[in-house]
Structure 1
């Protein structure tokens, strides 16, 4: 490629809270298995195909430590295999029972049968030992850049700096154990930022992180050092990003795409296309792959044209090539938006042909580094402030989390040997502090489940802390072992590290 118009960095953020042993359907483990089957498998398959072609720096992939732990967990791996088998059986059911239906439904059942068979074969051939063996060669070969984050995805601005540092270092160390290298970049959970956090990042060895575009007042054309910390931030370019997914619109809402919300309940499959925003489920038209494929081509062209126009505008404004960062939840691609992986492949193939350098965040520093900046408090949530995680609807959760952190720090007494009860108490505390619970309550998305999860982990922490303080060592360790059976995540977590984390 000659001198590029500019750079494009796709960032995918993969995250789900800890779900094994905490509910099945409709809320709980089902989330994990659906996202695994319909997003993680096809996105990884896409990346592997680029790797086979010799492509490098295809995209930046964020995988939160708590998600990685689930994708490597023996219980979750067995359950996922069962889920894929069940999907295959459901597709067979649909193929038999839709024989007399519209030909489009018959074709859909056949396509679903092939897709489930392919996913099952892929999982059995490549995933039975977990995600880490799948991911590691892609990272080692430079096909993707892997970024990490704090252990359980807490909203960092609301954490005591010692707890914040503890969670971040635990997450980075866990990724290093799984992949063989410590991430140099992170997806700050919810893009949450408070002034000064960059110094904690520098101390933890983090060199780069993401913020939302408004945190940079929309000036996202370059990576920017934050103050004098030496840590660099990248801002999401919302003008481009929102072409795909915005609070009000985006490609996945096209009438031709498969409808996420409409089920055939006997088979559990999704037989309809979006048809229209105001169309009731029973009136939606059958899904037609040909129409969806044409929409993918149309939207890929539109996105590439949008990126090219944006980069030309930025180059003219700044006098040199600039960068567009588009960042999304990985679960959008395939799970929420059935055609998403096909769209991704079309875009990633078309951009270089259009004169755009496809790059990763780390590689982008070679060409697209700007001047230092001071950042305001921000997030990528509603209002781009902290209201989703610190608003009136979740004031009780915020208060409980503050009290839990203070108690956890008090419990973390120094000692020469590890204490399984204190370690499990720290584990339960971090699970209680997950940002997901406040998000789900504020957005009224399975809010009862979220409140119950926060309460369960908080109570488990309090029970262990009480036993430790009472000197009931054997009872505390026995109870910790029982809780490990459900919340056995981050086995190397050492509560003593709280004493040095800042």
Structure 2
């Protein structure tokens, strides 16, 4: 590695499949709207400002194939513009409603002006395609976009079916190349889920590195002498970076992390839950659930006392302190490593993308302030994860096989396999097995049969998504998660039986293709056993 220690931040972007319901106010669609409005557009705006001020910045971003396709879906894009218009209309009413409460009226004006600005940015500057806007920054070398599995499946659970893992990867690579016109260097493991069986599979597809959670590397075989301060190489030659525990907790911890500070904006208190339902029609989903509007007036405050008003100036002052603390934390860890090992190290901070801006309102400003502060420091550099790995020559890295791990609860697989969701795995694994069988049985079919087999592959990939198990575990959108698993299994079963009887309803198939319209150019043969 060079003479400068390095920090690499990775932001993991993914949302579940939400296209099934054509209604623009389907509750799941607000996941996409909020990610776009509160995270992706302001993040691009931050990049624009940093570039305009000639502030160097580099980081890694993950866009799951599902997220890429849904961000580029014309119907969802149109629905998002309707959402922006509803935000603007609500802002006009809020400015009027709060006119006699100065501190609240100030915020209402702030949110109203921002909604207007974001509509212009999205439709004109970014031309309704934020993926292309991020790719521009990748081409400039400021952003590295990592690949991840097609439907964000928790891959360790599918190691008994390597064809399924390879199918997830091959669809992901095709989606990535279509979106970005290149081959990715890094592969982000969904939910940071690593199992040793993934080593040779990932390397066989040409990935140069991946990222595991802290304990996955520290409990590796053998235990790495450099800890998480340098990548290791696996027996197959894959470089592995590990998330730094201290950097993760500083930003992510719900109780001790920076977002928990009392003066930051409260995430849960939103007028969408508070004002009369008839005034919130655009923010009441089709199932009757109230959705967040982004018009929020209260600070975290803390404790059980009455919530205090949100004061942006106070939050900005705290943000400066938190960035300084984060920089000092980075410097302290790198300094300690240098003294103990007499060499320079790297730190990796990996977080879910929607933490910044959506969950933590000040999070995007935190990133911008961090890059501005880092530009003034000579104690470390910021870089993309691929460049960090490139600093270390393959032959000088320790050979270590990381242990089974994830960034889920307790660090293994129990978030995705417990009493709330274990029922889903027997049918999902069964249709996975049958899909491999179908790919072997019908290797060269065309026409309607090929179309049917391609849809069968889509149903299997959707059923494998880790989102459904997560939702069931956390008791969020439970009915939707259960519906998606059961409908994918049922759809596949109908297809499987119809292929046995050599008959399929074209009307039924066409409707299914419209509802589960992902990966339009999928080739079911990705499930064939590799020879």
TM (norm. structure 1) is: 0.94
Residues 56, 81 of structure 1: alpha-carbon distance in 2 compared, 3 angstrom cutoff: same
Partners of 2:522 and 2:57 lie apart in 1 by: 32
Partners of 2:373 and 2:392 lie apart in 1 by: 21
Alignment-derived partner of residue 307 in structure 2: 284
CA contact (8 A) 1:321 1:368 kept: no
C-alpha deviation, 1:501, in angstroms: 5.4
Please state whether the residue corresponding to 1:60 is helix, strand or coil.
strand
Residues 259, 435 of structure 1: alpha-carbon distance in 2 compared, 3 angstrom cutoff: same
Partners of 1:349 and 1:372 lie apart in 2 by: 36
Q: Deviations over 1:93-127 (max 9, x none)?
A: 110111122x1100000000111011101011134
Q: Deviations over 1:148-205 (max 9, x none)?
A: 1111100101111101101111111111011101212111001111112110001122
Partners of 2:491 and 2:254 lie apart in 1 by: 36
CA contact (8 A) 2:254 2:260 kept: no
Residues 96, 156 of structure 1: alpha-carbon distance in 2 compared, 3 angstrom cutoff: same
Q: Deviations over 1:1-22 (max 9, x none)?
A: x943x11000000000111234
CA contact (8 A) 1:165 1:501 kept: no
Alignment-derived partner of residue 259 in structure 2: 252
CA contact (8 A) 1:47 1:143 kept: no
Partners of 2:489 and 2:47 lie apart in 1 by: 39
Alignment-derived partner of residue 318 in structure 2: 295
Residues 208, 56 of structure 1: alpha-carbon distance in 2 compared, 3 angstrom cutoff: farther
2:387 matched to 1:363?
Answer: yes
2:402 matched to 1:375?
Answer: yes
Partners of 1:81 and 1:42 lie apart in 2 by: 16
Alignment-derived partner of residue 418 in structure 2: 391
Alignment-derived partner of residue 107 in structure 2: 108
CA contact (8 A) 1:210 1:235 kept: yes
Q: What are the residue-to-residue correspondences of 1:78-477 with 2, within 5 Å?
A: 78-101=78-101, 103-159=102-158, 160-217=161-218, 219-227=227-235, 229-246=236-253, 248-265=255-272, 266=275, 268=293, 269-279=295-305, 283-354=306-377, 355-368=379-392, 370-412=397-439, 413-417=442-446, 419-473=450-504, 475=505, 477=506
CA contact (8 A) 1:138 1:144 kept: yes
Please state whether the residue corresponding to 1:13 is helix, strand or coil.
strand
Residues 420, 296 of structure 1: alpha-carbon distance in 2 compared, 3 angstrom cutoff: same
Q: What are the residue-to-residue correspondences of 1:58-73 with 2, within 5 Å?
A: 58-73=58-73
User: What value does the CA root-mean-square deviation take over the aligned residues?
Assistant: 1.9
Q: Deviations over 1:428-469 (max 9, x none)?
A: 211111101111111222323222222222222222222222
TM (norm. structure 2) is: 0.89
CA contact (8 A) 2:50 2:368 kept: no
Number of equivalenced pairs: 493
C-alpha deviation, 1:367, in angstroms: 2.7
Alignment-derived partner of residue 283 in structure 2: none
Residues 247, 338 of structure 1: alpha-carbon distance in 2 compared, 3 angstrom cutoff: closer
Partners of 1:129 and 1:275 lie apart in 2 by: 37
CA contact (8 A) 2:170 2:526 kept: no
2:9 matched to 1:10?
Answer: yes
Partners of 1:49 and 1:492 lie apart in 2 by: 37
Gap runs ≥5 in structure 2:
220-226, 281-292
Residues 109, 217 of structure 1: alpha-carbon distance in 2 compared, 3 angstrom cutoff: same
C-alpha deviation, 1:129, in angstroms: 4.4
Alignment-derived partner of residue 496 in structure 1: 525
C-alpha deviation, 1:374, in angstroms: 1.2
Residues 366, 409 of structure 1: alpha-carbon distance in 2 compared, 3 angstrom cutoff: closer
Please state whether the residue corresponding to 1:18 is helix, strand or coil.
coil
